[in-house]
């Protein structure tokens, strides 16, 4: 079916630690995945994307890993900061620019 | 300058009323979308338009009617509002290409139906 799921709805980490947010997807034919960050009262903001021909992609303090064998996607945030507190969504491109979003994980950074 | 803008930001109205939400993007994109985010933060696509042509129409009640006067604007009109329509509605845009185009979201319109 059409679903992109997350293993944990909430995640708390200490400031400065690394965080990992996981996502499972169901459509093995999907070829493009995106992570979005949504701060309170704002719209989703693009963080990083990855195509299915890649296993890993790095940005500034963020890394996305794609494991097509088990249909798993993860977002790693290094050296977390208070501004990283938000809800993070993975999204799967199912063709014709239709994105299917996961439920979201709320990340809280503790001082 | 705001890339994707929506008006109004907040909308409180009575059940049965008709209301519209407007969206504009200045990114030069050719595709625009409407999403609905419920109280549990679940984000689901409703419609998408490419160059003013309807591309995606999910299972949305026909009380919802999108209108795209030009490729920079996509408005959403809702007739006979119901309590269940209360949600945050996001507009987004992207530039169609070979696939996997990033969608950029507006700040959202918070609709509360009383």
CB contact under 8 A, A89 and B43: yes
- When pLDDT is averaged across residues B4-19 and rounded to a whole number, the result is 97
Q: Is the pLDDT of residue A5 over 70?
A: no
**Angstrom distance (rounded) from CA A24 to CA A18:** 20
* Contact between residue A70 and residue A81 where contact means Cβ atoms under 8 Å apart: no
Confidence band of A93 (pLDDT split at 50, 70, 90): confident
Quote the pLDDT of residue B58. 83
Which residue of chain A has the CA closest to B93? Answer: A97
Residue B1: pLDDT band (50, 70, 90) is low
Kindly report, residue by residue over B62-99, the tens digit of the pLDDT: 999 999 999 899 999 999 999 999 999 999 999 876 55
Residues of B in Cβ contact (< 8 Å) with A104: 41-43
- Please state, rounded to an integer, the average pLDDT across all residues of chain B: 91
pLDDT at A111 over 70: yes
Shortest Cα distance, chain A CAs vs residue B44, angstroms: 7
Q: What percent of chain B has pLDDT over 90?
A: 72
Residues of B in contact with A4 (CB under 8 A): none
Spatial contact of B73 and B16, defined as CB atoms under 8 Å apart: no
Q: Is B14 on the interface with A (CB under 8 A)?
A: no
The 10 Å Cβ neighbour count of residue A109 is 20
Judge whether A31 is closer than 8 Å to chain B, CB to CB.
Answer: yes
């Amino acid at each position: 079916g059409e679903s992109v799921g997350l293993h944990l709805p909430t995640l708390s980490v200490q400031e400065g630690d690394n965080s990992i947010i996981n996502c499972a997807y169901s459509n093995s034919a999907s070829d493009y995945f995106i992570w979005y960050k949504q701060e309170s009262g704002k719209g989703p903001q693009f963080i990083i994307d990855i195509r299915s021909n890649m296993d890993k992609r790095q940005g500034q303090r963020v890394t996305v890993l794609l494991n097509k064998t088990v249909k798993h996607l993860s977002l790693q945030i290094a050296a977390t900061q208070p501004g990283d507190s938000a809800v993070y969504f993975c999204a799967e491109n199912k063709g014709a620019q239709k994105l299917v979003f996961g439920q979201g994980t709320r990340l809280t950074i503790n001082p | 300058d705001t890339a994707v803008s929506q008006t109004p930001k907040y909308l409180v109205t009575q059940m049965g009323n008709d209301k519209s939400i407007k969206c504009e993007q200045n990114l030069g994109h050719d595709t625009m979308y409407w999403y609905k985010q419920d109280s549990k933060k679940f984000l689901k696509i409703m419609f998408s338009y490419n160059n003013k042509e309807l591309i995606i129409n999910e299972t949305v009640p026909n009380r919802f009617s999108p209108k795209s006067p030009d490729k920079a604007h996509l408005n959403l009109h809702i007739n006979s509002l119901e309590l269940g329509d209360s949600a945050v509605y996001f507009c987004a845009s992207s530039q169609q290409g070979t696939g996997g185009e990033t969608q950029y979201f507006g700040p959202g319109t918070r609709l509360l139906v009383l």
